[in-house]
Amino acid sequence: MEYALDRFEQQVRAAIAATGQVPDGLIEVTAPKPNIPADLAFPTFKAAKQLGMNPPQLAGALAQAIHPAADSLVASVVAAGPFLNFALDPVRLSAAVLEEVEKLGPRYGSDDQGAGKTVVIDYSSPNVAKLMHVGHIRSTIIGQALYNIFRFLGYNVVGDNHLGDWGKQFGMNIAAIVRWGKPAGDGEDALAQIDKLYAQYARMAKEDPALDDEARAWSLKLEQGDPTARELWQWMVDLTLTANQHNYDRLGVHIDHNYGESFYEPMLPGVIQEALDKKVAYRDEGGAVVVDLGNSLPTFLLQRSDSGTLYHTRDVATLLFRLNEFHPAQILYVVGMPQELHFRQLFALVRAMGYAEDVELEHIKFGTIFDQHGQPLSTRRGNMIYLADLLNDAHQRARAVVEQASPDLPAAEKDAVAEIVGVGSVMYNDLYQDPRRNITLDWDRMLALEGNSAPYIQYMYARCRSILRKAAAEDVELPAAALNAQLPALLTHPAEVALLKQLARLPGAVREAGARYAPFVVADWCYETARALSGFYRDCSVLKAETPALRAARLRLVAATAQALLNGLGLLGLRAPERM
Ligand code: ARG
């Protein structure tokens, strides 16, 4: 798709090319430094060198030779030393941007670059019979944001929740339940109870080998399809899925598939055999299957000596299944940093087996979460926070913010806004910076109405909506269509121009976020837009603008900004309140 800034860049390139003074391959344009009054620059160093000129001389000659066409987005060309600086025409830009936002609405910023390509995203992926803790929240939030971004870029996106629903630990879970009975109730309470039973059983099994044997026996029975084992396992899977769904609903998360590790069980013998046949693995004296790729990566197992399979084995089967089923161009694994080696080994093994040669395999790693005292969250430390509790806490705290920002809202609406703002603040905290960095649960910063936070951006959105509502209620006569076409020409105040340029950058931000697997590029855009908006509110009165035409023009700008912000926040998975 082509947006205003794309056309601007094309026109700049075409203008340079049309002088006949610079060969095509040497035309490179970049963003000028922030203090330069220009929108694109051509640094002439390389070209001048090739042409045997000095750079200021070339820049000067080009500035002389270029005369932008009358309908061009390029307003002016000036040489500044070795740079050739191009400025946007604010009036044409404003007409183009308003038209694009108004025409595309919720699709503004989208693209078709992904058409015909599939991306598989492996995200959330919590473990069955365990509460979903904040370690999975990062995967869930970052994964869903990437999902939304790739969809918006026109890709066919397949989201897969790679549930940890298989492995030795279920033998112990089942043994504990058989011994002490199924916990009553449902939801996260029941999960917490299962977790407790598991811990108790594990503790006792350390003292009493008979308990250990019992758990192993159940594990085997589960693998062999014993009806009791299967039934209890299925009960735990369903319970977990139902409990997690409640969190997903609050986070606006929708994952296409829940294949889970168990789904791959029947494929594992084939995978192990193939690895042996292809000589990327061997069977050791004890009977275990060891992968040795003959490179610097540590060896790892596909099968234990007791014939049990591993997380790794299931991930190989999963990858092969995905290649076969979805024919993706990319597979993204949104999983914490500690599994970095696991994925390096996985990708290397699959490639050594001759698969995924032209498929991009990417581990999107993320850092840890620290509490407000700077301590990493951990069960052992006793400061672990579970997702549902975290969201409830966020809701409660956001309620106070809403109370402060809008004491006059009806109670039910305050509650709804607190949910949008509270959950939004948790999600935004996860998305506003590079995922590899650790994040801190610093509620004061997360819920601040000023600064780089969800509430600030959501509040700025709500202000747009409030102005638009007031304008609609005042029922001022709308300008005739002819005048409407001239409105963009009125938006020439520096704060208006800055805001329009910011709106024009959304499509580029979305593309960059996709290319770098970096939702924070969109988060940055949202924040910068909210700031440009507050500059505009400070300097330009909308409802009391000097003339009806200017008022109408500014209302169009406010409506376009609200739409673009909604699109940006939506890509991050955040909702925006109508009032706040
Ligand atoms: N269930 C795993 C965990 O909680 C994460 C799974 C990630 N995805 C994968 N394909 N290995 O650690």
Per-residue pLDDT of the chain (580 residues; tens, 9 = 90+): 999 999 999 999 999 999 999 999 999 999 999 899 999 999 999 999 999 999 999 999 999 999 998 899 999 999 999 999 999 999 999 999 999 999 999 999 999 999 999 999 999 999 999 988 777 899 999 999 999 999 999 999 999 999 999 988 999 999 999 999 999 888 888 999 999 999 999 999 999 999 999 999 999 999 889 999 999 999 999 999 999 999 999 999 999 999 999 999 999 999 999 999 999 999 999 999 999 998 899 999 999 998 889 999 999 999 999 999 999 999 999 999 999 999 999 999 999 999 999 999 999 999 998 888 888 888 778 788 888 889 999 999 999 999 998 999 999 999 999 999 999 999 999 999 999 999 999 999 999 999 999 999 999 999 999 999 999 998 666 667 667 788 889 999 999 999 999 999 999 999 999 999 999 999 999 999 999 999 999 999 999 999 999 999 999 999 999 999 999 999 999 999 999 9
By three-state DSSP, how is residue 127 classified? strand
Contact 276, 353 (CB under 8 A): no
335 CB under 6 A from ligand 1?
Answer: yes
**190, β-bridge pairs:** none
Contact 386, 131 (CB under 8 A): yes
Calpha distance 246→69 (Å, rounded): 57
DSSP designation for 24: G
Ligand 1 atom closest to Cα of residue 164: 1
Q: 34-69 burial, b if ≥16 CB within 10 A, otherwise e?
A: eeeebbbbbbbeebbeebebebeebbbbbbeebebe
Q: 3-state DSSP: the chain helix, strand, coil percent, rounded to 5?
A: 60, 10, 30
For residue 52, give Cα distances in angstroms to 26, 47, 57, 216.
13, 9, 10, 78
Mutation to probe ligand 1, out of 125, 127, 140, 309 (largest number of atoms < 8 A from CB): 125
162 CB under 6 A from ligand 1?
Answer: yes
Calpha distance 174→114 (Å, rounded): 45
By three-state DSSP, how is residue 119 classified? strand
Contact 365, 435 (CB under 8 A): yes
Calpha distance 180→158 (Å, rounded): 40
72 CB under 6 A from ligand 1?
Answer: no
pTM recorded for the entire structure: 0.96
Ligand 1 atom closest to Cα of residue 311: 11
Tokens of 517: 């697997």
Calpha distance 17→240 (Å, rounded): 61
333 CB under 6 A from ligand 1?
Answer: yes
127 CB under 6 A from ligand 1?
Answer: yes
Distance from the CA of 430 to the center of ligand 1, in angstroms? 19
Calpha distance 135→566 (Å, rounded): 28
